[in-house]
Amino acid sequence: MRFIRKAMIGLAAFAALPLAAQGPVPAPAAKTTEAAPAAKPPAAPAALDPKDLEAWMDGYLPYALERGRIPGAVVVVVRGGQVVLEKGYGFSDVAKRAPVLPETTLFRPGSVSKLFTWTAVMQQVEAGKIDLDKDVNAYLDFKIPPYQGKPVTMRNIMTHTAGFQESVRYLISSDPKAVMTLKKQMPLALPDRVFAPGTTPAYSNYATALAGYIVERVSGEDFDDYVDNHIFKPLGMAHSSFRQPLPAGLAPHMAKGYPDVTGKAQPFEIVVPAPAGSLSASGADMAKFMIAHLNDGAGLMKPETAKMMHDFKAPGVGPLNSMALGFYEQWVNGHRAIAHGGDTVWFHSYLWLFPDADTGVFVSMNSAGKDGAAGAVRSALFHKFADRYLPGADKPGQVDAKTAAQHAQMMVGNYISSRGSFTNFMSLFGLLGQTTIGLTGDGKITLPALDGLGAGPRDWVEVEPFVWRDTGTGERLAAEVKDGRVVRWSIDAGSPFMVFEPAPAGVNAAWLNPALIFAFGIIILAALAWPVRALVRRSFKAEFALTGKSLRAYRLSRVFAWLAIGALAGWVGLIAAFSADIGSIGGPLDWLINLLRIVTPLAAFGLLATAGWHLWLGIRDKRRWTMKFGAVLLILAALILVWVTLAFHLYGFGMVY
């Protein structure tokens, strides 16, 4: 699913205000430069025929895969109801040197799977069994509580505005035993809602799985059976399945996933919320699915149902891309694509449909490659394909230099993602992943966290007030401004389902991360000084100046300092385990999670109390200033630790996260 590990550990994502306030707030008219570049006429498109396309793809993809250390990929392009190109590159199994066969080799499209779930939903809408704007509790056997008095609707779910926070416990695993029925999973994994429905794009795998469960309940068919009977069979998709593990007849065709081309093959991934990402499919089968949607849903739904799905446009941030029903927009060269990306840990995919050109493109790779190269490969594929076969005119416009500099300065700061955890310990990962906007030497905005997601460095030029355009890709970044302050922003690639909002002062990593470094520096020094001073005293046979209560307070403060160090080591270990294997946080490390949520508040409050006691006794007994100063520093460190414990919910026993 989209951005699985990096989305939780420092991934760029995006944030929240009511839809009624979306779009940049009117500002004083900014003058555009008189020397704004003239529009370039569109280049003549190359002929999208098999010969030209294969030659172009052969010139791009093999080198891109080799450069990115990606073992293999499948690419499919369709147009006018026909397949223009289906081709495999590299290896589906490196050890066996098995090639990628587009007709039969299965890839894991990750969240591209959601398009099949949304298709199933729309079939049930067409059948009159689902109302897009009805409280989904009407279809469930458990209750989703209202948030700010408002229920969740299927339209909210299909536009990622149901308001759920991120949920990773029941997400992905390499253990086949992780598979569970939707009936069991949906009430068990229900995450908190943190945004009012319809107000804030916030990507949710849970919500998609919930939609699949609703399809299951209203249709009377198991979700896997439903997709088999109503999507795969009508389209002749014989090499596709949502089932986990794979059926015996398909398992031998499954491509292996890899860290990179030199790494070991990894086990088949279990996507626990199956409707959100468990599809395995061949390139040829994905071609059939694309052709059906481009042909007004032929074989799947009525043309008017497909039009309802494809043409819907949810409100968004300014002029940026927004959600259709289940698909999200991706504009390029004046062409509107409806699309979906998908990432499991090992597979990385994207599907684009260009309705105005009756053209579809699908790519899937079986590794993220070196430094996450798969993201750059598919981004470049999208833009370069469009530049060659679907060119369009550049739009002129540029804000004057003085205004651009002022607006860029307003954007500087740390931001948090709307796709994240806010009410449990996983919010700590959000602290590690805050996105920073800074300035380049010439005063333009820069987003270091996003540079790795494109094929090259970004060059953001403000083309209208609070709308920037990357000169390399044409992608836009836009901000909403209210009362002279940036309240949220996003970029075209993610704006349909994620936004950024300024990090609140209390949890802003700009000061909190340095403060944590300071705090643990003091705590570690205090903890180490205890045994070191004892050894020095023993060597010189000197007596310690403290006795009685003062000695007990000193010793207890050091005990809690060591406990705080132990808690820090535990959290670092948990983050490392999660980074290496996201499935480890879904059960195998429950003991560590629970232990840390006991030890952390105990260490924080214990250190604060004992350091405060030690300072009070030092003042009462008129100890040396150095001892009192050390106690003050330890109290400050403890206060920071207490704040982080409370602000990031590093306590409690809840197991939905």
Q: Read out DSSP for 18-63? A: -GGG-SPPP-SPPPBPTTPPPPPPPPPPPP--HHHHHHHHHHHHHH
What is the CATH code for 4-388?
3.40.710.10
Q: pTM higher than 0.85 for the full model?
A: yes
**pLDDT in the model for residue 37:** 45
Q: How far apart are CA 130 and CA 123, in angstroms?
A: 9
Residue 196 contacts residue 151 (beta carbons within 8 Å): no
Phi, psi of 439 (to 5 degrees): -125, 145
The dihedral sign for the CA sequence 296, 298, 303, 305? negative
**pLDDT in the model for residue 453:** 58
Q: Locate tokens 């009362």: which residue? A: 483
Phi, psi of 387 (to 5 degrees): -65, -35
| Both tokens assigned to 72 | 């293999």
Q: CB neighbours of 105 closer than 8 A, spacing ≥ 6?
A: 74, 88, 92, 253, 254, 255, 282, 283
**pLDDT in the model for residue 413:** 96
In the sheet with 460-464, reading across from the earlier edge strand, the strands are 445-446, 435-439, 413-417, 500-502, 485-491, 476-482, 467-470, 460-464
Question: What residues in the chain have per-residue pLDDT under 50?
Answer: 1-39
Measured CA distances, 577 to 234, 581, 588, 644 (Å): 43, 6, 10, 21
As annotated, the residues of the chain forming the CATH 3.40.710.10 domain(s) are 4-388
Phi, psi of 492 (to 5 degrees): -50, -40
What is the biggest distance separating any 2 CA atoms in the chain, rounded to whole angstroms? 91
Cis peptide leading into 99, omega within 30 of 0? no
DSSP code at position 397: -
| Both tokens assigned to 206 | 């849970």
Q: What is the dihedral of CA 609, 610, 616, 622, to 10 degrees?
A: -170
